[in-house]
C-alpha cells in the first residue's frame, strides 16, 4: 500500500510544498547563474528511471563547457565553477529535480539516477535498483555516498528496493537533513571526483585478467 499509493502521493505533496517554500531560493539561484554562466542555467541529462526508461533529470548547472586542445571537455574537476561548487556543497543544485518529482518521473527517496551508459555494466542484481523510481536522496547517499565503492552503493540501493517502507523513508529523510547540516558526503567535494562506473568496471576486469 505504501509503495504503490502513499509514497507517490507524498512525493507529489512534498514536491509542491517544497517548490513553493524554495521558490525565492530557486529564483535567486536562477538569476545568479544567468549572470555568471554562458547558455542555459539548467543541466538537463537523460537518466534511467523506473524500469530503466529514460527520464530527463533537471539540475542547476554547476560546470562550464571548457574544452582541451583536443576539443574534448575537460575533466569534471576542472570545470566546476565557483558558484557551482557552492551550489553542490549546499545541494541547492538539486532543487530543480523537485519538478521531476512533481511530474511523477522520480521520487524524493530512491536510488540515485545514474548515467544511461552505465546500464550495460550492471549485473543482474544491480539492475534491481530500477524496479522503483530513482530519487533525489537515498539509502546509499546517507550511508557513505562517495566514501564507499560502487559495489557497496548498489548493494545499499538493492537493499532499499527490497525493504522499502515508510519507516525507512522517514529515517532517510532525517539522516539527509543531518548530513546537509554537517556538510557530510557532499558529491561536490572538489578535492576528488568519483571514478565513472564504466571505467571502474573496466579497471576491475583488467585487474582480474592480470591476476590470472
The full 3-state SS of the chain, as one line of letters, equals CHHHHHHHHHHHHHHHHHHHHCHHHHHHHHHHHHHHCCCCCEEEEEEECHHHCEEEEEEECCECCCECCCCCECCHHHHECHHHHHHHHCCHHHCCHHHHHHCCCCEEECCCCCCHHHHHHCCCCHHHHHCCCCEEECCCHHHCHHHCCHHHHHHHHHHHHHHCCHHHHHHHHHHHHHHHHHCCCCCCCCCCCCCCHHHHHHHHHHHHHHHC
pLDDT at 21 over 70: yes
Q: What is the pLDDT of residue 7?
A: 97
User: Is residue 199 in a domain?
Assistant: no
pTM score of the predicted model: 0.87
Number of domains in the chain: 1
User: Is residue 24 in a domain?
Assistant: yes
User: Is residue 194 in a domain?
Assistant: no
User: Is residue 208 in a domain?
Assistant: no
φ, ψ for residue 136, nearest 5 deg: -75, -40
pLDDT at 185 over 80: no
How high is the mean pLDDT of the chain?
Answer: 89
Nine-digit cell string for 51: 524500469
User: Is residue 198 in a domain?
Assistant: no
Task: Determine how β-strand 42-48 pairs with β-strand 54-60.
Answer: antiparallel
pLDDT at 147 over 90: no
Residue 132 confidence class, pLDDT cut points 50, 70, 90: very high
Look up the domain containing 85 and give its range: 2-188
Between CA 131 and CA 120, with CA 57 as vertex, the angle to 5 degrees is: 50
User: Is residue 115 in a domain?
Assistant: yes
List Cα–Cα distances, 118 to 47, 50, 114, 151, 189, in angstroms.
10, 15, 7, 13, 22
Nine-digit cell string for 77: 574537476
Between CA 84 and CA 129, with CA 198 as vertex, the angle to 5 degrees is: 85
CB 188 within 8 A of CB 89: yes
Nine-digit cell string for 37: 554562466
Least confident stretch, 100-104, 174-178, 199-203: 199-203
User: Is residue 102 in a domain?
Assistant: yes
User: Is residue 180 in a domain?
Assistant: yes
pLDDT at 65 over 70: yes
Amino acid at each position: 500500500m505504501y509503495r504503490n499509493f502513499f509514497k507517490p502521493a507524498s512525493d507529489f505533496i512534498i514536491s509542491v510544498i517544497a517548490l513553493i517554500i524554495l521558490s525565492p531560493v530557486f529564483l535567486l539561484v536562477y538569476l545568479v547563474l544567468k549572470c555568471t554562466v554562458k547558455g542555459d542555467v539548467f543541466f538537463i541529462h537523460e537518466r534511467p528511471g523506473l524500469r530503466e526508461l529514460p527520464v530527463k533529470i533537471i539540475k542547476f548547472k554547476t560546470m562550464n563547457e571548457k574544452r582541451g586542445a583536443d576539443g574534448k571537455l575537460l575533466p569534471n574537476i576542472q570545470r566546476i565553477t565557483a558558484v557551482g561548487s557552492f551550489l553542490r556543497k549546499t545541494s541547492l543544485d538539486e532543487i530543480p529535480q523537485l519538478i521531476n518529482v512533481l511530474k511523477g518521473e522520480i521520487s524524493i527517496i530512491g536510488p540515485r539516477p545514474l548515467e544511461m551508459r552505465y546500464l550495460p555494466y550492471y549485473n543482474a542484481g544491480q539492475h534491481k535498483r530500477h524496479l522503483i523510481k530513482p530519487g533525489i536522496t537515498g539509502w546509499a547517499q546517507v550511508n557513505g555516498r562517495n566514501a564507499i565503492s560502487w559495489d557497496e552503493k548498489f548493494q545499499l540501493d538493492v537493499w532499499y528496493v527490497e525493504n522499502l517502507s515508510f519507516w525507512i523513508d522517514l529515517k532517510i529523510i532525517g539522516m539527509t537533513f543531518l548530513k546537509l547540516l554537517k556538510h557530510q558526503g557532499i558529491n561536490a567535494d572538489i578535492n576528488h571526483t568519483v571514478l565513472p562506473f564504466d571505467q571502474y568496471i573496466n579497471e576491475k576486469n583488467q585487474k582480474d585478467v592480470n591476476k590470472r
